[in-house]
Amino acid sequence: MALLPVRSKTRLAFSVAFLLWLVAFILLLNRRLAPSAAESDSHAAGQPPNSRFLAAEFINRVEQQQKELQQLLVESRQLAEALRAQSSIGGNKAGGIGEPTSPRPVMAKLSPADSLPASIAVLVIACNRPTVRRSLDQIFKYMPTSGPHQFHVIVSQDCGHAETASVIQSYGNKLVHIRQPDLSPISVPAKERALVGYYYISRHFRWAFDQVFLTMNYTAAIVVEDDLDIAPDFFDYFIHLGRVMAQDPTVWCVSAWNDNGKSNLIDTARSDLFYRTDFFPGLGWMLLRPTWLELRTGWPAAYWDDHMRKAGVRRGRACLRPEVSRSYTFGRVGVSNGLYFDKYLRFIELSKRPVNYAAMDLSYLLKSNYDSYYLDRVYKLPSVTLDIALGVGSGAPAEVRVQYNGPKEFVAMAKRLDIMPDFKDGVARCAYSGVVPVFKSGRRIHLAPGRPWKGYDVNLEVIDCFVVF
């Protein structure tokens, strides 16, 4: 049997549910109009009916039929929901917002043409970790060897570390090994000496991006650092979400990472669920050459990832990110000295569930669709307190909105939910228009600011969970 489009299946489901309800309602109406057996016998015997008896019986019958009608309506709604769930592909399921299955018309569609270039660079940033082999082995294991896109692995090495260079060269012509030529010391202020590693990294990224986009002339690159594991569908993920980025100028990166992707904060069954976010996630991400040409003129001397999170650099654009991460960092030891690793990063869940991307309509991620669908829906959800949202068996729906009023309240809620509480240029991790979704104790919770929302406060930052202005 030919498969129907998602919208056609949804209409069919509702039509069937409505017809079933209509038939049941007509049968119930016939029962109400037909006289009871006792009344028929009384009239047949020629006995006058007792008016009090008839009034009481009539009231009882009305109440009983009212209960039956209410039960019928409940069952009709349940049937409609069940049919809609079965008819949607990757759509709304318990625990999160997926593809739109709302009757709201979609205002924009993805172009049927493949908008990504045929050749895509996989830029691996390396320095002095021989364990880069772990990352490279996974890249070659999961990288497609056929299809419309060819992936070329380019390992850019800084530091001049001989053992790491030997590991990279052992892959022969499967990859291109380039080396940062400038290994000179970097002069930094005295208070920054302990953080000089961030200066070397930023210098290396600039050089490596120039090599890939300007010297080798690639138009798209996936950036992977030398301490990342990747999911089996890592490349399919970037191919399909990269098409959204290539078509939508309000999307400037695709990231494999969910900052709040710990197993107790996500729906691990929803590898097919994706979001827009105003926060640059990094840790396995894709960008296009025009974005690099824009970034390179103001590239910072250090802390390049925080630079990407600045409002003046982001310019209102978003990244795409998954519910379940497609990358996992195993690099506890590095320039950050394990910052956040023990508390957050080591608990990130790596997706292992297959996703049928070809059957999904990812046009809901386009800004014009997402803003009218996702945000409108969040603000139509029941508003409850965090206590109710976290209460198992509290009777709250499977998806709720919890309003926060200001950054201090958000930080307090974030600590209770065990999500990352920090802000960068006023943006919380995973936030989109201030809304941060979490899946906790079987319930989808959207932390949302009150409306009208005034935008992000770029003067805000959080240090050790204390709000600072």
Q: Which residues, in sequence order, are bridge partners of residue 230?
A: 327
**Which pLDDT value is given to residue 295?**
98
Q: Give the pair of three-digit tokens for residue 88.
A: 């949607």
Distance CA 165, CA 159 (A): 10
**Which pLDDT value is given to residue 241?**
98
Distance CA 366, CA 382 (A): 26
Distance CA 426, CA 459 (A): 7
Per-residue DSSP letters for 339-371?
Answer: TTTTTTGGGBPBP-S---GGG--GGGGSHHHHI
Average pLDDT, the chain: 83
Identity of residue 262: K
DSSP state of 373: I
Q: Give the pair of three-digit tokens for residue 331.
A: 């690099």
DSSP state of 260: T
Q: What would the pLDDT profile of 227-285 be if each residue is shown by its tens digit? A: 999 999 999 999 999 999 999 999 999 999 999 999 999 999 999 999 999 999 999 99
Instruction: Give the list of residues 6+ apart from residue 163 with CB closer than 8 angstroms, or none.
Output: 128, 130
Least-confidence region, from 86-90, 141-145, 160-164, 207-211: 86-90
**Which pLDDT value is given to residue 339?**
60
pTM score of the predicted model = 0.78
Q: What would the pLDDT profile of 27-81 be if each residue is shown by its tens digit? A: 444 444 444 444 444 444 444 445 444 445 545 554 565 555 555 444 444 444 4
DSSP state of 131: T
Give the residue extent of every domain in the chain: 111-351, 379-460
Q: What would the pLDDT profile of 158-194 be if each residue is shown by its tens digit? A: 999 999 999 999 999 999 999 999 999 999 999 999 9
The catalytic residue positions are: 305
**Which pLDDT value is given to residue 469?**
35
Question: Which stretch of DSSP H or E encloses residue 62?
Answer: helix 51-87
Q: At what angle do helices 132-142 and 162-169 cross, to 10 degrees?
A: 20
CA 95 to chain CA centroid, Å, is 12
Q: Which residues, in sequence order, are bridge partners of residue 282?
A: none
For residue 148, is the peptide bond before it cis, meaning its omega torsion is within 30 degrees of 0?
A: no
Q: What would the pLDDT profile of 346-361 be if each residue is shown by its tens digit? A: 899 999 999 999 999 9
Closest to 281 (Cα-Cα) out of 209, 223, 364, 217: 223
More confident site: 87 or 442 = 442
Closest to 336 (Cα-Cα) out of 308, 303, 385, 380: 303
CATH of span 111-351:
3.90.550.10
Check the CA dihedral 271-276-281-286 and report its sign. Answer: positive
**Which pLDDT value is given to residue 54?**
45
CB 32 within 8 A of CB 64: no
Rg, C-alpha atoms of the chain:
29
Residue 215 in this model has a pLDDT that exceeds 50: yes
Contacts for 335-344: CB closer than 8 Å, 24+ residues apart: 335/195, 335/197, 335/198, 335/201, 340/420, 344/259, 344/262, 344/420
Residue 296 in this model has a pLDDT that exceeds 90: yes
DSSP state of 441: T
Distance CA 355, CA 99 (A): 13
Residue 305 three-state SS: helix
Q: What would the pLDDT profile of 373-423 be if each residue is shown by its tens digit? A: 899 999 999 999 999 999 977 788 999 999 999 999 999 999 999 999 999
**Which pLDDT value is given to residue 25?**
52
Q: Which residues, in sequence order, are bridge partners of residue 423?
A: 428
Residue 444 three-state SS: strand
**Which pLDDT value is given to residue 33?**
43
Distance CA 317, CA 427 (A): 13
Say yes or no: domain 379-460 is CATH 3.60.20.10: no
